[in-house]
Amino acid sequence: MNALARLDSHLKSRLEDLSKAKEHGHKIIGYAAGGFLPEELVLACGAIPLCFIQAGDNAVLRNSAAYVCRWFDPFWRSQVGYLTSGKDPYYNIVDLIVVPITDNHVRAFSNAVGFYTPEMRSFVFGVPHVKDKVALEYYRKGIGRLRKELEDFTGAEITGSRLKQSIELCNRERELFRNISLMRKRRNVNVSGRDFVALHHGSFLADKEIMIDILEQFIKEADDDDPLFSGNAPRILFTGSTLARGDSKVMDILSDNGGIIVMEEFAEGIRPYRNMVQVEGDLIARLAEAYFMDRICPGWFRPGTERLDFLIELAEEYRASGVIWYQLLYRESYKVESYFFPGILRKRAGIPMLVLESEYDAMETGPMKTRIETFMETIRG
């Protein structure tokens, strides 16, 4: 069985496995997407982390309309829909919901958790929007409070040695993702964007050790396999706010048109994997540095220049021939940047950018197809 088939098989039985784990006293900690919750803390108290990453189903958006108005990012409205409808079984199995609050879209979800599901234990902490020493300290205090909450909730102390072990485990996972990603720098690429994204999405739900095993197997198979794409395929840097599990429309159309995603940069839906967490000294401080300070900021940080500069670096490093900027409707931070970034990109990297927008509506597929086809033709020259 190849690595991706193994992942599928593992996820098929995952809910059953989680139920059994609960029976054995393990707590399941669900958390909101965005990459600001250090899973290490959850693992270090013997609990199981699960990230809510499912979206893309328009019917769930309709469910959310009874709880929140339409003018929020459809990914976060979907989370409200899943939370209140029970249509995502992962929401039904968790014992505690943790929401790291980044912007107002996440806050709308956090309000829904607090107001509509008071019976569900929840915990929130804030993520500052600027990077400086005071902001780092604020984030550090937030995850410090989370540590205490997890200890109180699970009854297990997060000792230094257990935390170190968890960090090493998560570092291994990050390292493997980084190695897979680096393979795509080659001229003849042997990892598809869809597979890489599927691994990420799987990793938000899978058992950590099994996931690491799957990633190792994937690397071995990819090394052994023939290249999937020839050197002439348009190389696309794929970026945006959120890439949910269940939202593959753009990737499918791109692939059908012979394009290859050589790099993804998303705030939600792709695990931050470029930086390792150091394992010396105050480990909570090391987690804060890696998860907040060292991480390339999402679009809602102010200013957004760190991320925009990074996109240009990525475009050059991975020899991208174009950027597809995929934003979800009403996520204003990305919408505003999408106005002025194409000019900067063209000037500094000499490549074009296509802006696509979605509200998880099937009707978008036709126009999106036309636009992507045209963009690919433009790139091919």
Partner 1 sequence: MGSYYDGLFSLCGFEHEEIEKERPRIEASFEKLGIGPGDMEAACSRVSRYHDVSLEGVRKLLGAWLKELIDLVLAREDGRKIVYFGFPAILGPGLMLCASSEHVFVSAPDMVLDHTMGQIFNKLGPILEAGEANGLPPGHALCSLWQAKIGGIAKGMIPVPDLALASSYYCDMGSKADDLVTALYGVPIAYIDGIMDSEWGEYPGYLPERVHYLGAQINKAMEKAEKVLGIKIAPDAWQRSRKNSQPFRDNLARLTEVMKADPVPVGLAELELLEALSGSSTGRGIQEGIKAMNILIHELEGRVEAGLGIMEKGAPRIMVRLGHTSDPAVTRLYEDAGLAVPLTYILASRGGVAVKPRGNYGTPGEIIAEYEMTGGYYHGTEAQIRLYEKAAELMKLDGFVAQYLYNCRPVATISHIQKKYLEEKTGLPVLSLEIDNFDSRAYSADSLRTKVETFAEMLRAKKGR
Residue 169 within binding range of partner 1, rule CB under 8 A = no
Cis peptide before 89 (omega within 30 of 0): no
Are 297 and 289 in contact by the 8 Å Cβ rule? The answer is: no
What phi and psi values does residue 356 have, to the nearest 5 degrees? -120, 150
Residue 121 within binding range of partner 1, rule CB under 8 A = no
Are 244 and 267 in contact by the 8 Å Cβ rule? The answer is: no
Please identify which residue in 6, 22, 95, 126 interacts with partner 1, judged by CB under 8 A. 126
Residue 120 within binding range of partner 1, rule CB under 8 A = no
Task: Find the length of the chain.
Answer: 381
Question: How many positions of this chain bind partner 1 (CB under 8 A)?
Answer: 51
Residues between 335 and 364 with contacts to partner 1, criterion CB under 8 A: 335-337, 339-340, 344
Please identify which residue in 31, 300, 325, 375 interacts with partner 1, judged by CB under 8 A. 300
Q: Which stretch binds partner 1 (CB under 8 A): 32-40, 208-216, 311-319, 326-334?
A: 326-334
H helices of the chain, where? Answer: 3-12, 14-23, 39-44, 58-64, 74-85, 89-93, 104-116, 133-154, 160-182, 193-203, 208-224, 249-256, 283-288, 305-317, 332-349, 365-380
Please identify which residue in 122, 179, 190, 365 interacts with partner 1, judged by CB under 8 A. 122
Residue 194 within binding range of partner 1, rule CB under 8 A = no
The residue among 179, 133, 164 whose CA lies nearest residue 286 is 164
Please identify which residue in 221, 332, 364, 373 interacts with partner 1, judged by CB under 8 A. 332
Residue 130 within binding range of partner 1, rule CB under 8 A = yes
Residue 329 within binding range of partner 1, rule CB under 8 A = yes
Residue 125 within binding range of partner 1, rule CB under 8 A = yes
Please identify which residue in 32, 113, 214, 312 interacts with partner 1, judged by CB under 8 A. 113
Task: Tell me the two tokens of residue 192.
Answer: 């598809």
Residues between 68 and 107 with contacts to partner 1, criterion CB under 8 A: 68-72, 101, 103-105, 107
CB atoms under 10 Å from CB of 97, counted, come to: 23
Are 142 and 127 in contact by the 8 Å Cβ rule? The answer is: yes
Q: Which residues bind partner 1 (CB under 8 A)?
A: 66-72, 101, 103-105, 107-108, 110-115, 118, 122-130, 132, 134-135, 137-138, 141-142, 299-300, 302-304, 329-330, 332-333, 335-337, 339-340, 344
